[in-house]
Amino acid sequence: MKKIVCKDYEEMSAMAADVIAFQIKSKPDSVIGFATGSTPVGAYKRLVEMDLDFSRITSFNLDEYYPLERDNPQSYYRFMHDNLFGLVNIPDGNINIPDGECENPIAECEDYDKKLIKIGGTDLQILGIGNNGHIAFIEPNDDLPLATGVFELDDDTIAANSRFFENAGDVPKKALSMGLRGIFNSRHILLLISGKAKANAVKRLLDETVSTQAPASLLKLHPKVTVIMTEDTQ
């Protein structure tokens, strides 16, 4: 695990954008796993400013709230289109995001997993980390899921995400999320961490233990992980 500490969010975003841009330039037909939330927004903004060629990029998003309409301002479909996909030349047919409006979420997750396996996994997987140490929507638990599935959100996660909604009660209680298999099948994982609230999660990430109660700690078992974090997370 390679750790890079930046002085602030802007520096972290710039370094993250450089890593993603290098992947796109070195392999124009890369498969990239994208993350949502406030942490990667700065990196996505810089990618747009770089005027990169996304025409052969295939994307797989980590997750989507369920149930939630695509046109809801807080859907991850809207997030990705507002912050990146709608601002670059990636073909609509190359974009893969779990469908938060699907009638059969189990079938949707199974199909998503099959697509990931068929394409051979991602070349680069972007991740954030939750205050409780979750990655994607894989919450702390005794047993963690390998497959993409319908996950119940932890109370801490719901509370943390409530800032994006008008009312805390509007936050969906479930999500369709990539499991550990999809994440670990990536050839390179880029983990972005910003803010004091992540300090406890970072401590578990960087210590000498692995625990399902801190899902991000399992990343220590992956052969190629780059962590870019701000000073205040330590």
Q: Tell me the CB-side half-sphere exposure of residue 215, using CA atoms within 13 A.
A: 27
To the query of whether residue 132 is one of the catalytic residues in this protein, the response is: yes
Contact call for residues 193 and 202 (beta carbons, < 8 A) = yes
Number of helices (H) and strands (E) in the chain: give both, helices first: 7, 10
Q: Give me the catalytic one of 61, 83, 123, 134.
A: 134
- Any residues with CB less than 8 A from the CB of 42 and at least 6 apart, and which? 9, 10, 12, 13, 14, 16, 17
Q: Could you tell me the two tokens for 28?
A: 């124009």
Alpha carbon separation from 234 to 7, 123, 141, 205 (Å, rounded) = 11, 28, 24, 11
CA 90 distance to own-chain centroid: 18
Q: Give me the catalytic one of 63, 99, 113, 123.
A: 63
Dihedral pair phi/psi, residue 68, rounded to 5°? -160, 135
Q: Give me the catalytic one of 64, 99, 123, 139.
A: 139
Residues 143-164: b if buried by 16+ CB within 10 A, e if exposed: ebbeebbbbebbeebbebbeee
Q: Give me the catalytic one of 108, 113, 123, 132.
A: 132
Alpha carbon separation from 26 to 20, 30, 119 (Å, rounded) = 10, 9, 18
By annotation, the residues acting in catalysis are 63, 132, 134, 139
